[in-house]
Structure 1
Amino acid sequence: MTGDPAPDVRRLWALAEPFHALTYFADEARVAFGAAGLHGFWAGYFAGRAAPLGAVGLAVVTATFASFAPAFVARRVPGIWTTTSPEQALAARLAGVDAAVQRALPGWAGSADAAEAAALARRAAEAVDLPGRPLAAANATLPEPDRPHLALWQALTTLREHRGDGHLATLLQRDLLGLPALVLAAAAGVSDAEWLQRARGWSPAEWTVAADALTARGLLAGGALTADGIAVRAAVEDDTDRLARGPWAALGAAGCDRLAELLVPVRHAVVAIGDWPAHNPIGVPEPPS
């Protein structure tokens, strides 16, 4: 890879994330999780995302889903495993994505483009470095679905969890893991503070305490990012991109460019049908044109 241009990992994430997020936002996903005994958005979310780890308890999910308030997680975990096994949750998340794809992209699932995209994403996912990446490792060891659109979804899910594991490491290094990172994201305009509080389970009082602590550190002033706050956020994003680069570098610049080309219409279709809510709490930027 010497001399090969560095892959634009931020663009690949931005293009791939809406497709992955069908498992959160598509009606078909909620129906599939409900049929497996997981009723309500958050039951499906926690079971579907944690299922690759097995029937893990509160401490493990709180540690690996680090932006959520522990009490918020505790309202679902480990209770989700009393109605649904991890194997059932894994089957449900694929069934939901499959049905959502049929609606969002009719005829695409069996296409040559879907098969090519799956092959490219698989090559990148196979290059994921597993130590220190629990969610990526758990997804990487799952059996590959036999249909291309689902194999693509699984590979992209492994890659996004690999990015997420690295992101948590960069936040931990800077004493920003969990609520502080959310407060800074809201101050940066990445997502709405009220929405983040609801979607991650933090109370207004907890939010205020975290904001006060960030102000004392010189990262916020009057609720806005200071120059130091802007610099810290930029450093976190740069380190996240750096830690996410390995699998994409293994795919190579040409492979990354081709996968990005194949994902553009997929992303457009998901957004067009309304299954990628504007200003959602994931905080993914618009991909550069």
Structure 2
Amino acid sequence: MTSAGTARRLWALAEPYHALTYFSDESRAAGEAAGLSGFWSTYFALRAAPLGPVGPAVVTASFYNFAPAFVARRVPAVWDAATPRAALEARSAGVDAAVRRVLGEWAASPEAAEAAGLARRAAEAVDAPGRPLAAANAALPLPDEPHLALWQAVTTLREHRGDGHNAALLEREVSGPAAHVLVAAAGRVDREWLQKARGWDDDAWSAATDGLTARGWLDDDGGLSAEGLAMTTAIEADTDRLALGPWRALGDAGCDRLGELLVPVRRAVVTAGLFPDRNPIGVAPDAA
């Protein structure tokens, strides 16, 4: 039977390919061509575009771990610069250009087509209730080009996983800033980078730290306590479990084959420097 570990491994393998839309020069250029200015305006417009021209409250709720004021500085202003349709076109154009530069002839290869077919089967099995970003991405038509169809399918699957992760956090009453405090306490990403990348100020960080300390999840030095380690482990286990449905639908053989096909793709993206080691996504460049 397909295991929760399979869901984690395939996420780790596919995430750098999805993240081309954040970290490649081509995606930033496509955003600028659509009228978007700066990394974060491009990020919010391209990632939120499947939801339509939503306001900051919906984006903050759906993305879960960004400070509301950080979101509100870009949303809804991004929709004045580029409509959701234009943002969707920009993210596709950016990924297309980045893939053709980094992976060259692979984009039109039988391997790309096979990977797209497998990822599509999994994405079609996504369970949408309670998962707004997964549902919005699943509703988009898949492009004809295999490398873009693969990107859209793995994006639907990663947003499905992310929606489930948010549910696991919510179930344990872990707020957005508290989730980042736990990540920093575990030594996965440093506090300064997380605060900068998600917009939480020192007061919010301190309040989250105090709350976790009161719950017994942090020790006197600010690291994870035994209980904190157990709870973060449980959250990650629930995230894997909640992400498993589409991979079960694909089956063991399909998951294994997709993993094989994604290994060289992941390696090419990481080798090209398009998946920085200091990022808040949570997948290390040398994972999987």
TM-score by length of 2: 0.97
Q: Report the equivalent of 1:86.
A: 84
Deviation per CA, 1:94-128: give whole Å up to 9, x if none.
00000000111011100000000000000000000
- Provide the rounded CA distance (Å) in 1 between the counterparts of 2:254 and 2:15: 18
| Contact persistence 1:5–1:253 (CA under 8 A) | yes
Of the structure 1 ranges 201-210 and 223-232, higher mean CA displacement relative to structure 2 is found in: 201-210
Of the structure 1 ranges 272-281 and 117-126, higher mean CA displacement relative to structure 2 is found in: 272-281
Q: Report the equivalent of 2:238.
A: 239
Task: Report the CA distance between 1:285 and its aligned residue.
Answer: 4.3
Of the structure 1 ranges 207-216 and 111-120, higher mean CA displacement relative to structure 2 is found in: 207-216
| Contact persistence 2:20–2:27 (CA under 8 A) | yes
Q: Report the equivalent of 1:157.
A: 155
Q: Report the equivalent of 2:283.
A: 284
Q: Report the equivalent of 2:266.
A: 267
Amino acid at match of 2:159: E
Count, aligned residues:
286
Give matches, 1:209-248, under 5 Å.
209-221=207-219, 222-248=221-247
Q: Relative to total residues, which structure has the larger helix share, 1 or 2?
A: 2
Percent identity, aligned pairs only? 67
Calculate the aligned-residue CA RMSD, in Å.
Answer: 1.1
Q: Report the equivalent of 2:257.
A: 258
Task: Report the CA distance between 1:286 and its aligned residue.
Answer: 5.8
| Contact persistence 1:62–1:73 (CA under 8 A) | yes
Task: Report the CA distance between 1:288 and its aligned residue.
Answer: 6.0
Q: Report the equivalent of 2:53.
A: 55
Structure 1 segments unaligned to the other structure (5+ residues): none
- Provide the rounded CA distance (Å) in 2 between the counterparts of 1:5 and 1:103: 34
The list of structure 1 runs, each at least 4 consecutive aligned residues, that deviate by more than 6 angstroms after superposition, is none
Give matches, 1:106-255, under 5 Å.
106-221=104-219, 222-255=221-254
Amino acid at match of 1:83: A
Task: Report the CA distance between 1:205 and its aligned residue.
Answer: 2.3
- Provide the rounded CA distance (Å) in 2 between the counterparts of 1:162 and 1:251: 15
- Provide the rounded CA distance (Å) in 2 between the counterparts of 1:160 and 1:144: 16
| Contact persistence 1:168–1:177 (CA under 8 A) | no
| Contact persistence 1:128–1:162 (CA under 8 A) | yes
Deviation per CA, 1:174-220: give whole Å up to 9, x if none.
11031101100011111111000000001122211211111111000
- Provide the rounded CA distance (Å) in 2 between the counterparts of 1:94 and 1:111: 19
Amino acid at match of 2:3: A
| Contact persistence 2:143–2:149 (CA under 8 A) | yes
- Provide the rounded CA distance (Å) in 1 between the counterparts of 2:111 and 2:153: 15
**Helix, strand or coil: the match of 1:80?**
helix
1:6 to 3, 8, 32: 3
- Provide the rounded CA distance (Å) in 1 between the counterparts of 2:285 and 2:272: 17
Q: Report the equivalent of 2:70.
A: 72
- Provide the rounded CA distance (Å) in 2 between the counterparts of 1:6 and 1:165: 19
**Helix, strand or coil: the match of 2:196?**
helix
- Provide the rounded CA distance (Å) in 2 between the counterparts of 1:149 and 1:73: 30
Q: Report the equivalent of 1:33.
A: 31
| Contact persistence 1:15–1:287 (CA under 8 A) | no
| Contact persistence 1:28–1:97 (CA under 8 A) | yes
Of the structure 1 ranges 223-232 and 278-287, higher mean CA displacement relative to structure 2 is found in: 278-287
| Contact persistence 1:14–1:287 (CA under 8 A) | no
| Contact persistence 1:190–1:279 (CA under 8 A) | no
| Contact persistence 2:134–2:159 (CA under 8 A) | yes
| Contact persistence 1:166–1:243 (CA under 8 A) | yes
Give matches, 1:93-112, under 5 Å.
93-112=91-110
Amino acid at match of 1:259: L
